[in-house]
Amino acid sequence: MGDVPIYVAHDSADVWAHPDLFYLDDQGRPTVVSGVPPDYFSATGQLWGNPIYRWDLLAASGYKWWIDRFRAALAFFDMARLDHFRGFESYWEVPAGETTAIHGRWVKGPGEDLLSALQNVFGELPIVAENLGVITPPVERLRQQFGLPGMSLLQFAFGNDPQGPSFRPHNYTHDLAAYTGGHDNDTTVGWWLSAGAGDSTRTPEDVHKEHDFARAYLNLRDDSEINWVMIRAVLASVADVAIVPLQDVLGLGRAARMNLPGTISGNWKWRYRPAALSGELSARLRSLVTLYDR
């Protein structure tokens, strides 16, 4: 399973080769850039800074650039997580030069038109829609119209997130890819041991409540087994797809974290050593996937 980010970088080969498909000035600089508006997590939103697509020109070509992009991705992967799926229904556009994402606007995305074009070429779309964050009913209708599974992260189920109940396995639906945590999360052991670390909005009381609720919900008797208890909860759920990062299978801490959003260095460097993959771990995984018909 691979990943297809919604946007590409300004200094990418894609923008260099097809500048006409992006909102650029006569010097090749973006006139509008990507981001998301202020929300529960950030008072100033997130200013990503990627150039915005000229969806009108992409549509006029029958979305050839996107078809080629998916064809290239699917040469490597059986399925792809489609990043920021919300942005295909409507995306947040910020004037270039802004220092935050506050002064942006919602712009209607290509939605059904683009997904229909992809479906005409690839048939049933091998896509998991990344639908985390604040998701509106039109976004979910678009996802369901094309039969795309959404995502759920068990690490989000126990804290103050107002969407927390939707991340709890008893509320899962079949059309989900359920994860213990994703590539932007800490490892499960790291999350458990450092819950709230670096987050000034969370008090020690918040962390204590989160741990207490997680222990009660997961029937957790031994904190040292938190990764396996979370793995079992995801595999036992009704979600059609269950995904467990290898770091969680190995029970590794925050030093094995894959990515820390908002940082530009030190990420995507973790690798496992072959000797780490023991027969004992294999047997433990096999017993769980057999038990829960995975």
Rounded to two decimals, what is the model's pTM?
0.89
For 183-216, the pLDDT digits (tens) are: 989 999 999 998 655 555 668 888 889 999 999 9
Res 203: pLDDT: 80
Sheet holding 150-153, edge to edge: 150-153, 176-179, 241-243
Q: Does 35 have pLDDT greater than 90?
A: yes
Report how far apart, in Å, the C-alpha atoms of 122 and of each of 74, 141, 213 are: 10, 21, 43
Cα dihedral 213→218→221→224 (10° resolution): -90
What is the domain range of residue 140?
A: 2-291
pLDDT band at 6 (very low <50, low <70, confident <90, very high): very high
Res 264: pLDDT: 76
Res 288: pLDDT: 98
For 231-285, the pLDDT digits (tens) are: 999 999 999 999 999 999 999 999 999 998 877 789 999 999 989 999 999 999 9
Res 90: pLDDT: 97
For 247-257, the pLDDT digits (tens) are: 999 999 999 99
Res 42: pLDDT: 76
* Across 56-85, average pLDDT: 97
pLDDT band at 166 (very low <50, low <70, confident <90, very high): very high
* Across 99-118, average pLDDT: 97
Residue % of the chain over a pLDDT of 90: 83
Report how far apart, in Å, the C-alpha atoms of 70 and of each of 48, 66, 82, 109, 234 are: 22, 6, 10, 18, 29
Picking from 122, 142, 4, the residue whose alpha carbon sits closest to that of residue 67 is 122
CB atoms near residue 47 (< 10 Å): 19
Query: Contact 231/249 with Cβ under 8 angstroms?
Result: yes
Residue 279 has which token pair?
């027969």
Q: What is the CA radius of gyration of the chain?
A: 20
Contacts 24+ apart (CB under 8 A), 55-63: 55/109, 55/110, 57/20, 57/21, 58/21, 58/110, 58/114, 59/110, 59/113, 59/114, 62/117, 63/110, 63/113, 63/114, 63/117, 63/118
The phi, psi pair for 111, rounded to 5°, reads 40, -120
- Residues annotated as catalytic (active site), given as ranges: 83, 130, 184
Q: Is 17 exposed, middle or buried (0-12, 13-18, 19+ CB in 10 A)?
A: exposed
Res 277: pLDDT: 95
Domain containing 267 — which CATH number? 3.20.20.80
pLDDT band at 41 (very low <50, low <70, confident <90, very high): low
Output the average pLDDT for the chain: 93
Report how far apart, in Å, the C-alpha atoms of 246 and of each of 77, 152, 188, 285 are: 18, 17, 11, 11
| Cα–Cα distance, 237 to 170 (Å, whole number) | 7
Domains in the chain: how many in total? 1
